[in-house]
Amino acid sequence: MNIDLDDRQRGIVDEAAEFARTVLAPRAQENDEKGVFPREVLKQMAERGYLGATVPQEYGGLGLDPVAYGLLVAAIESGDCAASRLLTVHVALVAEAILKCASTEQIREWIPRLARGETICAFALTEPDHGSDAAGIQTAYTVHGDEFRLNGRKRWITFSGIADLLLVIARNEETVSAFLIESATEGVRIIPQRGLMAGKACHISEVVLEDVVVSKKNMIGQPGQGFTYVVNAALDHGRYSIAWSGVGLAEAAVDAMVSYAKKRSQFGAKIGTFQLVREMIAEAVARVYAAKSLCLRAGETRRAGKPDSIIESTIAKHFAAGAAFRTACDAVQIHGGNGFSNEYPVERYMREAKVLEIIEGTAQIQQMVISMHGLRRFGRG
């Protein structure tokens, strides 16, 4: 594919691919088993500027455009899914939301620290009883002069286990607002979630808020802008990031299935010569090409600032997530019994790929949004 990138951005993406191959991939299985994303690897990502990937250079970031950022995410995903989730949470959900929705003072205070990796972020929206129905959150805040007091419980908060800063969404009756809260603030408790099928190295935790007091400078935007402004902006960037994660994971699964098919012999022949195995490989390759094309289209509309970039990102996320899961499943199938062993990465790919169909909007939610777009866009006359 002919991808329009300048030499600087292309060099960053190429370096990320090498970093994923030599640093991330060799440790991904161990990280998954231990349930820990190593601080030294996080530090290396910060030193390379990845934690400020889309942050403007004036604030210490790499200033990548949407296409370059997407290719960076795909490269990192192919090495370690946890590292890619860190980019989605830290960069796409929180940093982008601050850049778009926060005050100049808040941007100057936080963005350089985020870009350098001195402050790690988490996005605290989901609750035990509210996932897809994010507008129904129950975490509450009350107003006390120039201060706010928050109480509630968030769940499935990726990287909150090691985060320094939380972007928390809470409501005061019908008014939903967004707050930046340091995890060391009195009344904040972080409870690690165990027994997860995937995301084991993503430090997923519950965030409990018990009479957490913050000042007005902690609110992003104005009261009432938490969902319609901050959350929608964050999730749009998050969906785009996850779409590219699907590309990276699907590419890793294709690479694994093809490598195995070339080496594995059955009935006196390499299984890559078998017609039905080749059919699975052909379909997997086609899915990867289609997913990447949709993501590039979404990236180009975002780069051009076109209003249809939101629906383009939604379509790309929906297709790429499904493509990643189907491709990972086929990779396990081609591996046969070995596909169920963690001696091979495909079993981890399949678990992680399923997550992509759920986070940043389930496949069913994406279908609803896309169908409404289809009803408006097609069938005229």
- pLDDT one-digit tens code per residue, 26-44: 999 999 999 999 999 999 9
Give the ranges where the chain is alpha helix by DSSP (H): 7-19, 25-34, 39-47, 66-79, 81-87, 96-101, 104-116, 232-263, 275-303, 309-335, 346-356, 363-377
Question: Does residue 170 sit in the same domain as residue 115?
Answer: no
Overall number of domains in the chain: 3
Question: Does residue 285 sit in the same domain as residue 159?
Answer: no
Listed residues 70, 91, 119: the one ending a domain: 119
Residue 133 is predicted with a pLDDT of 79
For residue 121, what is the DSSP state?
A: E
Residue 40 is a catalytic residue: no
Angle of helix 309-335 relative to helix 275-303, nearest 10 degrees, comes to 160
What span, in angstroms and rounded, lies between the C-alpha atoms of 255 and 257?
6
Residue 143 is predicted with a pLDDT of 96
How close are the terminal C-alpha atoms of the chain, in Å?
36
Question: Does residue 236 sit in the same domain as residue 370?
Answer: yes
Question: Does residue 102 sit in the same domain as residue 241?
Answer: no
Tell me the residue range of the domain where 215 lies. Answer: 122-224
Listed residues 196, 224, 252: the one ending a domain: 224
322 within a domain of the structure (yes/no): yes
What span, in angstroms and rounded, lies between the C-alpha atoms of 270 and 96?
48
Which of 127, 251, 312, 360 does the annotation list as catalytic? 360
Return the number of other C-beta atoms located less than 10 Å from residue 291's C-beta: 28
179 within a domain of the structure (yes/no): yes
Regions in the chain scoring below 50 on pLDDT: none
Residue 33 is predicted with a pLDDT of 96
206-255 confidence digits (pLDDT tens): 999 999 999 999 999 999 999 999 999 999 999 999 999 999 999 999 99
Residue 381 is predicted with a pLDDT of 60
Name the token pair of 238: 């998050």
Listed residues 181, 197, 224: the one ending a domain: 224
**Contacts with 77 (C-beta within 8 Å, 6 or more apart), sequence order:** 20, 83, 84, 244, 245, 247, 248, 249, 252
94 within a domain of the structure (yes/no): yes
Residue 297 is predicted with a pLDDT of 97
